[in-house]
Structure formats: C-alpha cells, structure tokens
Amino acid sequence: MTYIFHLVKQVLPQRWGRYGWQLLKGIACFIELLPKDKQTLVAMPLFIEFLQLVPRFLMCQFCSQHFYEQFQEFPLKEHHPFRWICERWKTVNQRNIKSGEICILESWLCERMKTTEEWFFYYKRRLLSRSFFQLWKLDVMIFLTTVLRCLPEPGSWETKSSLKTDIDRYFELLHELIPEFPSVAKLLNTTNAQDWSQAWFEIVSKFLGSEEQANRVWWISESCMQTY
C-alpha cells in the first residue's frame, strides 16, 4: 500500500499539522450539527471511511503511524465524532509539548480552552458564522493544496492504481461531508501536470470566492512544504 510519505520527502508537521486538524475538527462539528438520524445513518459511516484514508495522506511517517494506531485503539463508533477528534488532537499536543515542538498558536489554544464542550462551541460558532466559515475554508484549502502538491504528477497516479482509487475516494468523501466542497473527479483524471495545477487553482478560487484568496493559499502551502 502506497502512502504519501513513501513518494516524497517528509514535510515538517509543525508547518501543516494545524491546518489538517482544522479540517478534521470542522467535519466532526458539521456531523454533530446534523439531525440525529442523518448523523447516524449517513454522515458517520462516511466519516469513518474518510478517517481510514487519513493516514495515507499525512506527509510524515510518524504522524501517519500514530493516527492509524489511535484509530485502531479508540474506535470512533463508541464516541461522539467531535469529542473523538479533540481527544486525538490533545494526545498529539501533549506529545509535542513534551518534545518542545508545539507551535505558539496551538499552545495558546490549549491554555484557553480546556474542555471539549468549549472547543465544540468555538467550532460551532465558527462554522455557522459566514466570516468564520470563510476562514475555516481557507485553512482546509491550505492543507489540501499542500497534500496535492506533495504528490507526484497526476499522470503517474494511473500506475499506482490503489493510490489513484484512494485519492478519488478521499475527495468524494470531502464532497459528501463538507457543505459547498466541490466535486473534483474531473480534475483528478487530468494527466497534464500544468493543466492540473491550473484546474486546482480554479477550484480553490471558486470555493473561497476569489483568486486573491487562492493565491494566498498557494503562498502559505509553499511555506508548509518545508522538509526535515
């Protein structure tokens, strides 16, 4: 099975990690805001499938292995999704605090909000407010752009059939789980790298509402790609 860290130099998680956690926390919050029947019958199975794919698209071998172990040790079906994600995030932060690798923002947030309920209220307010939701979308696109830029050129995905299948499914699930997230099936079937980059830029622009925001995503993702 091919993981992204098999294909590229591993990228410092201190650079991109918080954007990845924003994605996961936001999806979990969306799920908990759904009616109970839709949450249980529709969203949770999709989210569990998505989380199974997450380790394959983390740009750090240790992070990938740790997330996989956490997913196996603490089955999501026994937890509320947002609580589960927060507990995993806190575990990682405690590890990073001990190693001295936690970023200033993450440290400040850990100090400010102690309980899962405080975190849920924070994300609920953020995602239901148009301006906050826009900021969250920006974080999501920074993470996804960094992931895609770390992958080999799309034409080579065809030679790694399992990777191609999982990339397609990864983005299909995002389309199902995140309000307004576009379908990118056509993009992922593009084999020309230059056309692929332009197509992705257009998708980011549309999702965020402006080319200026898309340029910002591209610039920040560049800074996220610092290798060990």
Q: Which tens digits make up the pLDDT trace of 173-194?
A: 999 999 889 888 666 666 565 6
Which pLDDT score, from 0 to 100, does residue 107 have?
55
Place of tokens 């692929």: 196
CB 147 within 8 A of CB 202: no
Q: How many CB atoms lie within 10 A of CB 128?
A: 11
Q: How many CB atoms lie within 10 A of CB 88?
A: 20
Question: CA-CA distance, 29 to 82, in Å (whole number)?
Answer: 6
Q: For the chain, what is the mean pLDDT?
A: 82
| Predicted model pTM | 0.88
Which sequence spans correspond to the domains of the chain? 4-224
Mean pLDDT across 203-209: 93
Question: CA-CA distance, 177 to 167, in Å (whole number)?
Answer: 15
Q: Which tens digits make up the pLDDT trace of 119-157?
A: 788 888 878 888 889 999 999 999 999 998 888 766 666
Q: How many CB atoms lie within 10 A of CB 196?
A: 18
